[in-house]
Structures are given as structure tokens and as C-alpha cells.
């Protein structure tokens, strides 16, 4: 998860890329899909957030 200051209005996640774990900027979770290799808990969390956003819910 991104720093709490970044998540006041929307859920942001911090990303890492590649074998050296390069840190990328935080992105809105609503814009992300689920990787095939994701574990069950990750799939459920992303699907729940997409449902939440699709129904217009807000913090």
C-alpha cells in the first residue's frame, strides 16, 4: 500500500518491478488488473475494490 497521505480519497498501491525491485510511483488500485500469478487474497482484495468503485462508494 502507498503511504496513508496518498490514500485520503482513493486507494493507491506502491509497485515494484523487475528482479532488483525498482520502486515505481503509486498508482490508483481502480486502474489495475489482476496478474495471473496473483494469490487468492490479492485477487479478492482487487475485486472487492473494483466492486466498491463501480458502485460509486467513497471514503
Q: Are 30 and 53 in contact (CB under 8 A)?
A: yes
What pLDDT, on the 0 to 100 scale, is given for residue 3? 63
Query: How many CB atoms are closer than 10 A to CB 57?
Result: 9
pLDDT band, residue 2 (cuts 50/70/90)? low
Grid cell of 32 as nine digits: 489495475
What pLDDT, on the 0 to 100 scale, is given for residue 19? 72
What pLDDT, on the 0 to 100 scale, is given for residue 51? 93
Q: What is the pLDDT of residues 5-58, one digit of tens each?
A: 655 667 888 777 767 666 777 888 888 888 788 889 988 988 998 998 899 887
What pLDDT, on the 0 to 100 scale, is given for residue 26? 80
Where does residue 6 rank: exposed (0-12), middle (13-18), buried (19+ CB within 10 A)?
middle
| Domains of the chain, residue spans | 4-54
Amino acid at each position: 500500500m502507498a503511504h496513508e497521505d496518498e490514500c485520503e480519497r482513493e486507494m493507491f498501491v506502491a509497485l515494484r518491478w523487475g528482479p532488483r525491485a525498482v520502486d515505481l510511483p503509486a498508482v490508483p488500485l481502480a486502474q489495475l488488473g489482476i496478474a495471473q500469478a496473483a494469490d487468492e487474497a490479492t485477487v479478492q482484495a482487487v475485486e472487492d475494490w473494483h466492486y466498491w468503485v463501480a458502485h460509486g462508494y467513497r471514503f
